[in-house]
Amino acid sequence: MTTIPPVANKDRLTGLDSSFLHLERDSAHMHVAGCSVFAGSAPPYDDLVAAIESRLHLVPRYRQRLAFVPLGQGRPVWVDDPHFNLRYHVRHTALPRPGGEAELKRLAGRVFSQALDRSRPLWELWLVEGLAGGRFAVLSKTHHALVDGISGVDIATVLFDTSPDPLPVAAPDQEWDARPLPSRAQLLADALLERATVPAEAARGIRATLRGPRTVARRAGRALGSVSALAWTGLQAAPPSPFNQRIGPHRRFTWVRADLARFKAIKNSLGGTVNDVVLAAVAGALGSYMRLHGRQTDGVDLKAMVPVSVRADVERGALGNRVAAMWATLPVGQADPVARLHTVSEAMVGVKQSGQAVGAEILTAVSGFAPPTIMAQAARLQARQRLFNLVVTNVPGPQFPLYLLGRELEAIYPMVPLAENTALGIAILSYNGQLNFGLVGDFDALADLEVLADELRSSIDELASAAGVPVAAPAGGSPRASTRQARAAR
């Protein structure tokens, strides 16, 4: 008789997924979020609920909540929520008049300030009516333990349509019925059994990733070098900045809408990659903002934590996190936009050659075998240290229009969660020719977040001007003078 070797519970969180639970505090909420703006009048709430319900079988995690192992003896597992109520997760509200972007941004900030209830499935959607111009919005929140940026984009393509008149979604094979909840004793027994039996398989898996004809030593050496590069870079303390303060639970949220083709044109003219141009624009905005607040920036390089997807194409659509981290240098003291871009580009080439992302992926895999108590302490230690000044994450989205009940999605503005002692996060998402920046800040620490958004627009304009790329025109208006020019005129 063939013996089937034990394997890890497919519903158990990975070490990386679990770390986002450990990082969460009353002041630091670990959900990713987004504000989506649609053309046309808002659909009736009941129609939206029905549309989402017809597709929930495509994302079964949306009907599941966390079950925690007693005594912290294992990572949590996903279990069916026997009390699942879709109308709790899909909510309905409206903007006060005049229903402009300012009102939508304030609402988004309030919604994104509220932590998700861990006793329920970790997601929410808010249907927002009353947006000026005959439009509506949808605010989305999903815990980082459930998705990373890439898989979150994949979920959007499942819940949304790719044409105004979509084909009907195939019904599930059988009606959903919640599986019985495991008892505390069962959760503990399963975790202990898995800990005792699975590590042997894990060790074989690690050996397999390094194994190859006559290449074991070479690959092992590269792996150790990558981990060393990550550790050395990560342990260098980030410089003091106005973006590293104790944070509270409340958030401000704003955005900058940009054109992907414009960034590509800058890249083609000045060199580097689109991501280099993004980081150079962010560095210029941060430097200007710091100088406006009387901070010296000469010779100052801020440190950004840049998540990098390591999700293979065959894994697209799967939930959970498949990300690693790299540390990017942001030369905020470099006033010349071309020199700033070249500095960023050269630094990112060095980062890639150092193998930081590979090292982070290896450590992420190893963390899956660390006891939960060690993972929790490591997450708390990381949150207390000033290892980076801010998070800048750039996620590729679908380059075709999406629709919700026949209404076209005009724009998506993403939000990345704030870590403890980090008052600013910048998320970038490309969609259908756009490259949109979502800026989230602590409500008290960054009361003038809109000023930073203005400086980001000006920084993008500076790079475009240096590259000979025409100045962008805002929607429905003529080309806008840069913020610095307008300030000088006053």
According to DSSP, residue 62 is labeled G
206, 365 contact by CB (below 8 A): yes
Could you give the CA distance from residue 284 to residue 483 in angstroms, rounded to a whole number? 13
Give the sign of the dihedral formed by CA 344, CA 348, CA 354, CA 359: positive
364, 230 contact by CB (below 8 A): no
Question: Within a 10 A sphere around the Cβ of 374, how many other Cβ atoms?
Answer: 11
Instruction: Spell out where 230-336 has E strands.
Output: 251-256, 302-309, 323-330
Greatest Cα pair distance in the chain: 85
Could you give the CA distance from residue 198 to residue 191 in angstroms, rounded to a whole number? 10
Question: Hey, what are 380's tokens?
Answer: 């708390």
Could you give the CA distance from residue 348 to residue 352 in angstroms, rounded to a whole number? 6
Question: Hey, what are 93's tokens?
Answer: 């509200």
Residues facing 440 on adjacent strands: 253, 425
Could you give the CA distance from residue 305 to residue 382 in angstroms, rounded to a whole number? 12
Peptide bond into 242 cis (omega under 30): no
Could you give the CA distance from residue 422 to residue 414 in angstroms, rounded to a whole number? 18
Could you give the CA distance from residue 370 to residue 377 in angstroms, rounded to a whole number? 11
Active-site residues, by number, are 144
Phi-psi label, residue 483: left if phi above 0, alpha if psi -120 to 50, beta otherwise: alpha
Could you give the CA distance from residue 208 to residue 323 in angstroms, rounded to a whole number? 21
List Cα–Cα distances, 216 to 222, 354, 366, 427, in angstroms: 10, 20, 18, 38
Question: Within a 10 A sphere around the Cβ of 179, how many other Cβ atoms?
Answer: 10
